[in-house]
Structure 1
């Protein structure tokens, strides 16, 4: 199982971090060990002083494939949810300045939270809201109509480089509003106002 992540897929988020808008999807990976266990608190890493949440729609791949034409891409995912791509922002900024890969800032243990998966309703793919609350306060809200690269585009593009396999997860990008978390924070993710997960930071 692979965890494939897309960066800078919402224009307002790219702008809030002073990043240029991408001309093609920005891809990075997380290992299986990055997946947080349901119901278990996420521990604040010792190597960062600025752990930040990034709430995202997550697709689950349901069919093996490579070099998938975009017109057939909907056949390759049938469930989705909301998740968090945790980022050690201070470490990421340092790695960026040095021109190094992001893995240490993005792919550490428990850096990928996923909620309960629900079937994808094709008619609702791009009329869907998702959000994240922190200690009962809504801190991030997105809408799939604002994606730079559609889900179908991502499936097709990713499969030109990596064979997609059943069970792979695709984090499709975060909207604006990313921010820091602290120990004892409680984070709750919603897809169309339905709670998908709740986690606590320890």
Structure 2
């Protein structure tokens, strides 16, 4: 199993990245800020579980490659990311460290349209981001098709579909929640 992630810059340009399963944070466990992260941010995301092996998948067929959806939050050590980029090095260590990708339980998409689902991110009880899945920066089907050009899709892989939104300046005690269609799937604290 691998985590396939789409990364956005502020202009909306995308890059694709694969990170190891060591990054998974499950069961609504609290996120502990690592010592090297003096500045922390996060990106709430829609997560798809791949249910079929595929390579070079056309966007029009991408919906056939997943049957489950959940939500996730990817954490970034902003200070480390800046240092690595300034040294012309890959910023992967700043975003693929242990427990840097919180993931919810998956929900079946049988008889449900992914595009119509409403995605909500709350920080400390306040709604910070609300949108329909069809309104995220790049449609999940386009992301899946693009990823399959670079990486073989395998059953059980997770596809993190993010966006340009990034919540910065997280600190100890922050309470994060992500809801999908009114159901709270992620609910934990930063420690």
Tell me the TM-score normalised to structure 2 length.
Answer: 0.91
Matches within 5 A, 1:20-169: 20-22=11-13, 25-120=14-109, 124-169=113-158
Stretch deviating more after TM superposition (124-133 or 45-54): 124-133
Report SS of the residue matched to 2:171.
coil
Give me the whole-angstrom Cα distance separating, in 1, the residues matched to 2:39 and 2:7: 19
Query: Which portions of structure 1, spanning 4 or more consecutive aligned residues, are displaced by more than 6 angstroms?
Result: none
Shift of 1:104: 1.0
Give me the whole-angstrom Cα distance separating, in 2, the residues matched to 1:62 and 1:157: 17
Closer, same or farther: CA 77–143 of 1 in aligned 2, 3 Å:
same
Tell me the TM-score normalised to structure 1 length.
Answer: 0.86
1:11 paired residue number: none
Query: Which runs of 5 or more structure 1 residues have no equivalent in the other structure?
Result: 9-13
Aligned pair 1:3/2:3, yes or no? Answer: yes
Shift of 1:195: 0.5
Give me the whole-angstrom Cα distance separating, in 1, the residues matched to 2:101 and 2:88: 24
Give me the whole-angstrom Cα distance separating, in 1, the residues matched to 2:86 and 2:129: 27
Instruction: Give yes or no for contact 2:47–2:69 (8 Å, CA) kept in 1.
Output: yes
Deviations 1:52-97 (A, max 9, x none): 1210101110111111122221111111111101011121122222
Shift of 1:182: 1.5
Shift of 1:123: 5.7
Shift of 1:98: 2.4
The Cα RMSD (Å) is: 1.8
Shift of 1:121: 5.3
Instruction: Give yes or no for contact 2:137–2:164 (8 Å, CA) kept in 1.
Output: no
Shift of 1:134: 1.9
Shift of 1:122: 6.7
Give me the whole-angstrom Cα distance separating, in 1, the residues matched to 2:112 and 2:27: 29
Give me the whole-angstrom Cα distance separating, in 1, the residues matched to 2:144 and 2:111: 15
Shift of 1:189: 0.8
Instruction: Give yes or no for contact 1:140–1:177 (8 Å, CA) kept in 2.
Output: no
